[in-house]
Amino acid sequence: MASSSQIPWHQRKLKGWTHLQSVPLVRLRPLIIAVFVLISTFGYLDDILAGGVYPYSILVSNVLFSGLIACAWILILSRKPLSWLLLLIPVQVLGPLFLGWLDKILSTHFRAAPATAAMGIRISAIGMMVSIVLSYVFFILFIRGEGKESFKIRNELELAHGIQKTLVPPFALQTARFEIYGISKPSEKVGGDLVDAVALANGDAIAYLGDIAGHGLQAGILMGMLKTATRTALLDAGEREPNQTLPVLLQRLNAVLPEVKEPHMYATFSAFRLCKDGAVYYALAASPPILHWHANGLALSKLEEEQFPLGLLEVKDFGGEHMQMERGDVVVVATDGVLEASDKRGEEFGVERLEQTIALHATSALPELAAKILEAVQTFGKQLDDQTILLIRREA
């Protein structure tokens, strides 16, 4: 994803109009008035260039037309389909002809006598100054209103970030045979990354990483729901066969999520059951690849599985697989905020660079390994999404 400096100027302009489209009309009112008053000065300017001889009725019509046509541009670009421009452009082009015709009508039927040159110029000059001052006042009112709204949104965003940090804190969990560490580094936007681990009563543990598609409060709220649903679904996990735990978990989550989300939203999910006897089972739902560093061979392998994400389509059977982990082996799963971080050329950090970083620091403590990965990603490019990592090491 490109930074704002790499986005073409015409796309940045479209983004500005998209913002105006999202602003309620009542909040646009000061801006519309400001534009009307400011552009209406062209009517006064036309009179001054003509020597100040326009009758007052004609001067008023010129002023009103100049302001109204400017307001029409704003309203159409921010509220109507671009096809409406096919109506507005002819009005803009034929405007001078219309004003000339209107001038004749007013002069004929209302006997609008021309003003004296000196008085006409003085009135138009005063009208221009008053209009400029009024436009300044209304621009300030609009900016102040948007500033208050921006401050309100910023406070809500900070609150959402606080909730996100509460729901997804860094954690470390130790079992008889495994060490688990998870961390999520939020982006400026509220995201939906989730990493967590649950210790079962029988000595096993469940570790999982999820990523809600999209950003904003919707993604953050759904992430909280996903964490609650996952922990609830795992209440009976200790009583279930280890190889069946994760397929049942994904099936339950896939059945629950459609009822609490927007139709276009979904979640990717990676889950592991780490047994007290050293066995490891995993299940994936459109997950990023699992990177497995083998301590004995000092090599990396990659595990991937094609599967639908959670909450998007009805899936009858989610599969689960067995993974062989030896003493010292490390498993790494990272969300797309890590893998898709881009440099200035648009090149992504990618799986290969992540593998290289893991290979260099695989024997480090898991918090240090996570820090090295995040440092490498930060050095490579700007963070555009939550960067979340799940690390698992077999110790015995």
Taking the C-alpha atoms of residue 112 and residue 134, their distance in angstroms, rounded to an integer, is 28
pTM for this model (two decimals): 0.68
Choice among 85-94, 138-147, 182-191 with the minimum mean pLDDT: 85-94
Q: Choose between 390 and 143: higher pLDDT.
A: 390
Compute φ and ψ for 294, nearest 5 degrees. -95, 115
DSSP helix/strand/coil, 66: helix
Taking the C-alpha atoms of residue 368 and residue 293, their distance in angstroms, rounded to an integer, is 16
- In 262-381, which residue ranges form alpha helices assigned H by DSSP? 336-339, 350-361, 366-380
pLDDT value of residue 140: 93
Q: How many CB atoms lie within 10 A of CB 84?
A: 14
* Position 358 pLDDT exceeds 70: yes
* Position 14 pLDDT exceeds 50: no
Interval 145-196: pLDDT, tens: 888 887 877 776 777 677 777 778 899 999 999 999 999 988 876 678 999 9
* Position 377 pLDDT exceeds 90: yes
Taking the C-alpha atoms of residue 274 and residue 206, their distance in angstroms, rounded to an integer, is 6
pLDDT value of residue 126: 93
Taking the C-alpha atoms of residue 128 and residue 119, their distance in angstroms, rounded to an integer, is 14
* Position 34 pLDDT exceeds 90: yes
Please compute the mean of the pLDDT values over residues 348-356 and round it to a whole number: 95
Which sign, positive or negative, has the C-alpha torsion 167, 261, 386, 336? positive
| Bridge partners (DSSP) listed for residue 173 | 180
Is residue 194 packed enough to be buried (19+ CB in 10 Å), middle (13-18) or exposed (0-12)?
buried
pLDDT value of residue 4: 40
* Position 17 pLDDT exceeds 60: no
* Position 382 pLDDT exceeds 60: yes
Strand order across the 205-212 sheet: 193-199, 205-212, 267-274, 280-285, 321-323
Choice among 70-84, 118-132, 203-217, 370-384 with the minimum mean pLDDT: 70-84
Q: Are 354 and 338 in contact (CB under 8 A)?
A: yes
Choice among 33-37, 105-109, 274-278, 320-324 with the minimum mean pLDDT: 105-109
Q: Which domains does the chain have, with CATH numbers?
A: 4-160 (no CATH), 168-394 (3.60.40.10)
Residue from 145, 167, 179, 163 nearest 272 by CA: 179
- Give the residue carrying structure tokens 């009135």: 123
* Position 309 pLDDT exceeds 90: yes
pLDDT value of residue 9: 36
* Position 12 pLDDT exceeds 60: no
- How does strand 321-323 pair with strand 280-285? antiparallel
pLDDT value of residue 331: 98
Which sign, positive or negative, has the C-alpha torsion 359, 364, 370, 372? negative
Q: Choose between 161 and 218: higher pLDDT.
A: 218
Apex 179 CA angle, 175 and 181, nearest 5: 125
Please compute the mean of the pLDDT values over residues 264-271 and round it to a whole number: 93
Please compute the mean of the pLDDT values over residues 277-295 and round it to a whole number: 95
